[in-house]
Amino acid sequence: MIVVPVTTSPDAPPSSLTAAGARALFRSGTVSPSAGWADGYTQANLLIVPASLAYDVLLFAQRNPKACPVLDVLDAGRTEGALLAGGDIRTDVARYVVYRDGVPVDRPADLHGVWREDLSPVPARPTDHPGTIMANGRRRLVVTATSLDCRSSHARRLRRPTMSHAHPILENDRMSQWLGVVVERADFGAARIRMDIREEMVNGFGIAHGGVIFAFADTCFALACNDPAGDSSTITVAAGADIIFVASAYRGQTLTAVGTVRSRFGQSGIYDVRVTAGDTLVAEFRGRSRTITTPGAE
């Protein structure tokens, strides 16, 4: 069994909380994305595995320190540690995902119902599973999906998905596949992607077509406003969007788009996407979202 936390609420998080204060809110039942919470404190993903798999996890992290730096390891059965003083690893995350044999089977608010004494928590930066805990250190940690080549630890149940499956909405997104989008981060409320400008993306003036840049930014917008661990009963779509082109981009350049949530209210939201080519700002995109029932869902 593997347990990975995710967050699912539309509320904008406060930046002035301490780590302990943020965890206390989660423990009391608050469910919210953690982007922007407890400014200045470490945010890290949490991976909880049976003790029989803990060595493989640590071996993978040791062999791939850039892709998966580990902040701490708790002994099997322990629910608090130096980075979680006074806390409880079973309750101090907004929402968890429980996996059995690689398949998600539950999304509980706490782990009391599934906790076992042989489970070993590893606060770290796994490359594929969004969701965070607040640690007491004063270092900011940005969580991203990795495109780095990683050495295996031979733990078959912990294999990393391919980048094309970094977010479920991309599996059938033919436009994003044609663009060649690579997902570097896909979290609820934040996303980072990149693509290379190819010859067929250039217009008659020899610069990247504005429609291509808009579509690229729109993909980043879609990733940021759809929870990758959602239950698929709803989807979030664009109610409107605007873009300002700041500078031209050219064939052979790599574009990067970074999307963040600005506000959520009811079933609506506002997101900003910044598109760059290296250090050059190419475009600023603002999207307005609306959450609706998935077509065909009962």
The string of pLDDT tens digits covering residues 213-251 is: 999 999 999 999 998 777 678 899 999 999 999 999 999
**Domain limits, the chain:** 2-144, 163-293
Q: How confident is the model at residue 156 (pLDDT cuts 50, 70, 90)?
A: very low
Cα 262 to chain centroid, rounded: 16
For 163-293, CATH gives 3.10.129.10
Which tokens is 215 given? 């579509």
Element (H, E) at 238: strand 234-245
| Residue 265: pLDDT over 80 | yes
For residue range 17-35, list pLDDT tens digits in order: 888 888 888 888 887 767 6
CA separation, residue 230 to residues 130, 203, 239 (Å): 12, 38, 20
pTM reported for the whole predicted model? 0.51
For residue range 94-124, list pLDDT tens digits in order: 778 887 766 667 778 888 888 888 776 766 5
Closest by Cα among 120, 98, 111, 155 to 49: 120
Q: Is 200 helix (H, G, I), strand (E, B) or coil?
A: helix
Quote the pLDDT of residue 223: 93
Low-confidence winner among 2-11, 38-47, 54-63, 221-230 (lowest mean pLDDT) = 2-11
Q: What is the mean pLDDT of residues 174-186?
A: 89
Cβ(268)–Cβ(239) below 8 Å: yes
| Residue 296: pLDDT over 80 | no
- Asked if CATH classification 3.40.50.970 holds for the domain at 2-144, the reply, yes or no, is no
Quote the pLDDT of residue 193: 93
